[in-house]
Amino acid sequence: MRLLTLTNLHALTGVFALDAIDGRKRDRFEHHLTRCPSCAQEVRGLQETATRFALAVTARPPAGLKERVLGLADTTRQLPPAQYSPVRPTEPWALWLRRLAIPLAAACLVVAVVLGVLLGTARSQLDTARTQQRQVAAILNAPGARIVSARTALGGSATVVVASRLHELVFTSRGMPRQPSSKVYQLWLLRSNGSAISAGLLSIAPGGTTVPVLASGLEPGDRVGVTVEPAGGTARPTTTPIVVLSVAP
């Protein structure tokens, strides 16, 4: 009975996530995980679940442990990254930018709105997409790029990556409820003098994220806001913003 059927193997996700399996069976399952993305995905979810069990029994660590651990760290050499690891981002924020980069770039192939100049009027769609991708990449990779995020009043979250030096930003969101066909989300650049400049309409892509919007011409004190407007958008906001983010320092 040495042959484990696939179903049997798959059922090991739970015991693997709880470290309730040892030895050869564990090794075999670990090997299986490298070839079974759905198993690996399930294990990840179950390990995150196990983490909640761990957090539920949080306890105050003994006095003196901190000094000891920090002291030991001071004299302990760290291991290099594993050989197969991808190159690490150079800055902590780059971690998030990297996570954002692929979905953003992919989504940008679909459409992007540019404040000031609307790209794509004179060029082929592909050229437009490439340019927009480059612009998004430039923002994501700009030194000092920041991420600002907030919940919206209707649920979901809005996120802006701001490259202050470039006076540009990329706006995206996830989990905002779909609007009826008579309504639309509109993005605004809110100037410190109280004026509002439309930065385009948001379209919700499959998966509940909005297609990233690229906006340029940022000025100090600018904020970004989203309102719900009649289909087609309006020249100025007619409703209270569901979220406002400070983007310029």
Write out the binding residues for another protein, residues 10-49 only, by CB under 8 A.
Answer: 11-15, 17-22, 41-42, 44-49
Q: Is 249 in the site for another protein (CB under 8 A)?
A: no
Burial 13-41 (b: 16+ CB within 10 A, else e): beebbeeebeeeeeeebeebbeebeebee
Q: Are 47 and 15 in contact (CB under 8 A)?
A: no
SS3 at position 1 = coil
Query: Between 15 and 205, whose beta carbon lies closer to another protein?
Result: 15
CB of 237 to another protein, least distance (A): 12
CB of 27 to another protein, least distance (A): 14
Query: Between 27 and 48, whose beta carbon lies closer to another protein?
Result: 48
Which of 49, 30, 25 minimizes the C-alpha distance to 40? Answer: 30
Structure-token match 């998966």, residue found: 207
CB of 243 to another protein, least distance (A): 5
Query: Between 49 and 125, whose beta carbon lies closer to another protein?
Result: 49
SS3 at position 215 = strand
Query: Between 167 and 174, whose beta carbon lies closer to another protein?
Result: 174
Instruction: Tell me the HSE value of 241 on the side-chain side, using a 13 A CA sphere.
Output: 18
Query: Between 89 and 221, whose beta carbon lies closer to another protein?
Result: 89
Q: Which residues in 91-130 contact another protein (CB under 8 A)?
A: 92-93, 95-96, 99-100
CB of 72 to another protein, least distance (A): 5
CB of 125 to another protein, least distance (A): 27
Give the one residue of 2, 3, 74, 117 binding another protein; rule: CB under 8 A.
74
Distance of CA 188 to the CA centre of its chain: 21
SS3 at position 74 = helix
Query: Between 80 and 232, whose beta carbon lies closer to another protein?
Result: 80
User: What is the DSSP secondary-structure string of 12-56?
Assistant: THHHHHTT---HHHHHHHHHHHHH-HHHHHHHHHHHHHHHHHHHT
Total residues binding another protein (CB under 8 A): 77
Query: Between 92 and 180, whose beta carbon lies closer to another protein?
Result: 92
User: What is the pattern of x (binds another protein, CB under 8 A) and - over residues 172-211?
Assistant: x-xx------------------------------------
Q: Which residues in 207-246 contact another protein (CB under 8 A)?
A: 225, 240-246
Q: Is 148 in the site for another protein (CB under 8 A)?
A: yes
* Tokens, residue 14: 């739970």
Angle, vertex CA 191, rays to CA 190 and CA 193, nearest 5: 130
